[in-house]
Amino acid sequence: MSSLFALHRIKLMSLLLVANLGLILHLSLGTMKSGDLWAPLDIAGEGGSAVLILVWICLLLKSRPAGRVTNLLFAGLACLFFSLWMDVIDEFVQLPDSAMWDGWLESGPMPVGFILLTLGIYHWHSEQLAISQQMRNRERLYREHRQFDKLTPLGGATYLKNQIQQTVRQSASERQPLSLIMLDMDTFNTINRDYGQPEGDRVLQVVTQLVLLNLREHDLLCRLAGDRFVIILPNTLESQAKVIAGELSLAIAHLAYRTTGQGERLMLSATTVAVMVRQEEPERLLERLNLCMAQAKQTPWARSA
């Protein structure tokens, strides 16, 4: 950071040096005008504008890092300042009629400064658009990150509803079937009660990995709540979803899970139900799934609806 300030100081000192060289050049080749030849309005306008531009330069160098945009903005403002500064000096110093270079010093830097300043503002605008896009991406990522479950980690209920809504629209536009599977662990509360919540959390993590290994690449697994999961199955008929649901139940039933404390074998099982998605809102669809799950829990032999 100190090297950055040093570089900016060099820019500012260079500008002041060039401005002083212009003053010395006028004083050495010209003579001071008498007070009655001064134009107070011109002096105030040109001098005030030069002071304001110098303030802008200081604010620019103080607030921006070194780089192309800063250099363009500084160069443009520096040319404008130098041109106005020469105009101010010209109000006090009378040069001989043979001196033609003063007109170039007063007028020449002005259009160059405006061109450089325009280029700087253009690149600054592009820079701000890029920053704004990055901020929107970070905000979206943060917002979506909050929708993910920290334990598993899978998308939570809010993320699930958003994905259902998007997938329903996509399936309707492509005229492809869409099915959902709900998976609920059996006697999970007993595991938490007998072995503690950390053991229950580990069971959920292991089951999550097992289910993911048994899904297709385009399927999406989310954790609805507690030990209840929902799987979105694009391009899948209800009959296919029921087959997948049955395979998941068998995979969990055959899982050789042992507790971390005593190494006891826990017999895990899960109830799964599968439904075909209609043109309905995510809340209504999840209500239908929960109702199917409640019926399946009451009649263990009915594992799909």
pLDDT digits (tens, 9 = 90+) for 136-154: 655 554 555 566 777 887 8
Q: How many CA atoms lie within 13 A of 140 on its CB side?
A: 6
Band (213; pLDDT cuts 50, 70, 90): confident
Residue with tokens 């997948």: 244
150 or 292, greater pLDDT: 292
The model's pLDDT over 103-139, given as tens digits with 9 standing for 90+, comes to 677 778 888 989 999 998 998 888 787 766 655 655 5
What is the pTM (predicted TM-score) of this model? Answer: 0.55
3-state SS string over 160-225? Answer: HHHHHHHHHHHHHHHCCCEEEEEEEECCHHHHHHHHCHHHHHHHHHHHHHHHHHCCCCCCEEEEEE
pLDDT tens, position by position, 50-104: 899 888 888 887 777 767 888 899 889 989 888 888 888 877 777 776 666 776 7
Alpha-helix residue ranges (DSSP H) falling in the chain: 2-29, 40-63, 68-92, 101-107, 109-145, 157-174, 188-195, 197-213, 238-253, 282-298
Query: Is 74:11 a contact under the CB 8 Å cutoff?
Result: yes
- 212 pLDDT more than 50: yes
pLDDT above 90 for 274:
yes
Q: Tell me what pLDDT residue 17 has.
A: 86
In the chain, the amino acid numbered 15 is L
Of 279, 289, 276, 293, give the one whose Cα is nearest residue 237: 276
229: nearest Cα among 239, 240, 244, 259 = 244
pLDDT at residue 279, as a whole number: 79
pLDDT of res. 304 = 42
What is the pLDDT, as a whole number, of residue 275? 92
What sign results for the dihedral spanned by CA atoms 284, 289, 290, 296? Answer: positive
Q: What is the pLDDT of residue 248?
A: 94
Confirm if 81 and 57 have CB atoms less than 8 A apart: yes
DSSP classification of residue 31: E
Q: What is the mean pLDDT of the chain?
A: 83
| Nearest-10 Cα torsion for 197, 202, 206, 212 | 70
Q: Average of pLDDT values for 24-43?
A: 77
The confidence score (pLDDT) of residue 146 equals 62
Check residue 7 and give its pLDDT.
Answer: 57
| Residue 302 pLDDT exceeds 60 | no
The stretch 235-247 carries a mean pLDDT of: 93
The pLDDT value recorded for residue 178 is 93
- How far is residue 231's CA from residue 219's CA, in Å, rounded to a whole number? 7
What span, in angstroms and rounded, lies between the C-alpha atoms of 239 and 154? 26
What is the distance between the alpha carbons of residues 87 and 109, in angstroms, rounded to a whole number? 11
Query: What pLDDT sits at residue 95?
Result: 73
All domains of the chain in start order, with CATH? 2-143 (no CATH), 157-298 (3.30.70.270)
Tokens of 225: 């709540």
From first CA to last CA, the distance across the chain in angstroms is 66
- Residue 6: pLDDT over 70: no
| Degrees to nearest 5, angle at CA 286 with 138 and 149 | 35
Which residues neighbour 261 within 8 Å (Cβ) at sequence distance 6 or greater? 195, 199
